[in-house]
Chain A
Amino acid sequence: MFEIIENRMLVPNVHEMTVHAPDVAKSALPGQFVIFRSEEEGERIPLSLADWDVESGIITVVYLNVGRSTAKLATLKAGQALPTVVGPLGNPMEIDYYGAVLCVGGCYGIASIYPIARALKEAGNKVVCVLEARSSFLLYWQEKLSAVADRLIYLTRDGSRGKRGHVGNLAEILHALPMRIDRVILNGCNYLMMRGSQETLPLKIKTMVTLNTLMIDGTGMCGVCRVTVNSETKFACVDGPHFDGHQVDWAELTQRRKAYLQEEILALRTTRPL
């Protein structure tokens, strides 16, 4: 069992959980993920590692309360335990010196982009972070990110903070920057990553995305995370989750993500207490 150190809502519907999982913390690298179960017989939930500390053995994830199993996760309190925390899974994000890198995070991606931005900065890159949200009250982790980014750009749909717009305005943002960007990294929902990749394609900037697919075991066994990249089928769990955003078959990914939408709704409709 894995003890929960803290579980709190950061902004509406977005939760941060810290868990004691020393073996995971010891091996974690930026861009890897973990699988949680919130209860016995529970669903396996893949979540990006947002932070970790080798010394204390504590790992951090940020998740959206969106379905039956994440709703259960959100009810858990410090001192309770999770039956499963397994990882670190997947490949780390490729980190090297590229020059200037633009890191875009939206929703839970604001948290998962953090260790990637941190590692890029440590590798000597100039790091510009774009935080995207519907409105200013949905932004979080600004202090953490400003500590590792050379510049933070806010992008809100209602203009309540920073630039008014969304990821569809990424090309404008890139044009307005004083430096040339050598690489873009997008973290967030699949829509954000797809739209962002569409923006950078004509600009010919290498763009990496961290895909959110369905998963069960997360070790290559079930294959539900199949995704087509550059016309080849890949398993997001063992071949990814990071891919070149210009090569991902986004239409297929979007369809596959929706496979259990009806069942998700059915599971939420129960009157049974969580």
Chain B
Amino acid sequence: MEQPVKKGLDLNRRPMPKQPVEVRRRNFEEVALGYDAKLAMEEASRCIQCKKPGCVEKCPVEVDIPGFIQAIAEGDFERGVRILKAKNSLPSVCGRVCPQETQCEGGCALHRKAGQIAIGRLERFLGDWEAAQPDFMLPEVAPPTGKRVAVVGGGPAGLTVAGDLVKLGHEVTIFEALHKVGGVLVYGIPEFRLPKRIVEREVEYLRRLGVKMVTNYVVGKTRTVDSLLEEYDAVFVGSGAGLPWFSEMPGNNLNGVYSANEYLTRINLMRGYTFPLAPTPVKRHVRVAVIGGGNVAMDCARTALRMGAETTILYRRSREEMPARLEEIENAEEEGVIFRYLTLPVRCIGDERGWVKGLECIRMELGEPDASGRRSPLPVPGSEFFLPFDAVIHAIGNSPNPLIPQTTPGIEIGRKGNIVADPQTGKTTKPRVWAGGDVVTGAATVILAMGAGRRAARSIHEYLTNPGEW
């Protein structure tokens, strides 16, 4: 039910200060600077406190949004944090990377008048306010149940499961393949959009709650899920979508051609942007092409720009069909990323030393809507043309990581290599094993993975407290 919009409402969404374009396009510091207390309280005061809040309905982790907004409006930030953290263990992350426009803010009663409350910015404000306090406020943890849970993968899904279950008194251990916990939050999303210290802080919070974290541990290789089941009462698999796609065209194995995962991992996880200070090498490219139109494509393009390259996004449909968040598209445009729509690369062309020197592309036109409801792009015959690039980044998606599916007998695997799990509970076809996040859905968003983690945690808790009934 939409709420009636009364006259005299404050529809003036408070803008969030950002680094000026000319400055930020050359550094890796965070672009958006966040609200101060005054702006946050002003923004929060605009909330009309709907009786049936549309925002909460659209939040995958069911945060009591009007509750924490009311607390901010009253200046009681501590209460706000408590309300927020009751449902979301990673507010500073979600406030930055959630697609609020299609979730909470899309459900806001003021959305119709384009004055929706900046819920994401307020969430971020509370998360950051808490972090600036001298002491973490730790919630109450239930007495130990003696039950042990293994969480495979330290990304958004796994962190959520771990946080929820540890608060309920279960002993939780996260097994992470890389050397840092955080998954896509540390290897994928760039520093300028999500500073790594924020992820570290949220991870530290979970550690303080009692979550054990084992890094450098590849479940499926170092140890199998079956072997974990001998020692743990339940296993949650959140191993992510770690197998990159390359668009089908000749020349993808030329030097200078990257998957988005490789490019972003070199820069983010390995801190390649400080090379040679950090020893993982990164090339200084001059002209970079990014293939794709999602958030990952925007991240790659804005990263390449900051590394000093002229950067072009090649997308086969038009701006309207681009799946990236509007805010990210606008940021990229402002910073000077070049967008070439209705353009499909068909061939990477290399030089005599095996380095890419450009892309042969073909122009596209939009035809009838396809299964996704978007107008499908069709090549215009004879419209091939050449664009010079010394690097090409494929940002067109990922498949679920195959390591667990390959090494876990008895777990049902879907057509796309994903683990099959009940969307309501995260239960897989293998007893005592739950799964959620990108390994189930294919590449999606941080918050959807967290939502899946929340539901799985609930189901795991039911099982652990009432195993007889399962």
Contacts and interface: CB of A to CB of B under 8 A. Distances in A.
State whether these chains interact. Answer: yes
B217 interface: yes
A233 B252 contact: yes
Interface stretch (A39-47, A125-133, A165-173): A39-47
Contact of A222 (B261, B276, B403): B261
A270 B401 CA distance: 38
A264 B222 contact: no
Given A222-B259, A222-B261, A263 B222 contact: no
A134 to B, nearest CB: 27
A221 B221 contact: no
Given A27-B222, A255-B255, A259-B255, A223 B262 contact: yes
B414 to A, nearest CB: 18
A226 interface: yes
A220 B242 contact: yes
Nearest to A223: B259
A27 B223 CA distance: 7
The contact size tier of chain B is 35 or more
A84 interface: yes
Contacts of B256: 259
B270 A219 contact: no
A217 B279 contact: no
Interface stretch (A85-93, A114-122, A203-211): A85-93
A222 B279 contact: no
Contacts of A86: 177, 179, 216-218, 222
Contact of B280 (A43, A223, A258): A43
Contact of B218 (A37, A43, A219): A219
B402 A238 contact: yes
Contact of B216 (A85, A251, A259): A85
B362 to A, nearest CB: 22
A83 B255 contact: no
B263 to A, nearest CB: 9
Given A27-B223, A222-B259, A255-B354, A41 B278 contact: yes
Contacts of A176: none
Contacts, number: 121
A254 to B, nearest CB: 8
Given A87-B221, A224-B262, A233-B252, A219 B242 contact: yes
Nearest to A221: B242
A265 B316 CA distance: 39
B240 to A, nearest CB: 8
A41 B271 contact: yes
A220 B205 CA distance: 30
B221 A260 contact: no
A224 B258 CA distance: 7
Contacts of B215: 84
B354 A256 contact: yes
Interface in B237-273: 242-244, 246, 252-253, 255-256, 258-259, 261-262, 265-266, 270-271
B32 interface: no
A88 B244 contact: no
Contacts of B178: 217
B52 to A, nearest CB: 43
B265 A216 contact: yes
A260 B187 CA distance: 20
Contacts of B218: 86-87, 89, 219
Given A44-B270, A83-B179, A89-B221, A221 B261 contact: yes
28 contacts: A24-B222, A27-B222, A27-B223, A41-B270, A42-B279, A43-B279, A44-B270, A44-B280, A69-B279, A86-B216, A87-B221, A89-B218, A217-B177, A217-B178, A217-B242, A220-B243, A220-B403, A221-B244, A222-B259, A222-B265, A223-B259, A223-B261, A251-B354, A259-B283, A263-B283, A264-B281, A266-B276, A267-B276
Q: Which 7 A-B pairs have the closest CB atoms?
A: A255-B354, A263-B281, A222-B262, A221-B242, A86-B216, A223-B259, A260-B281
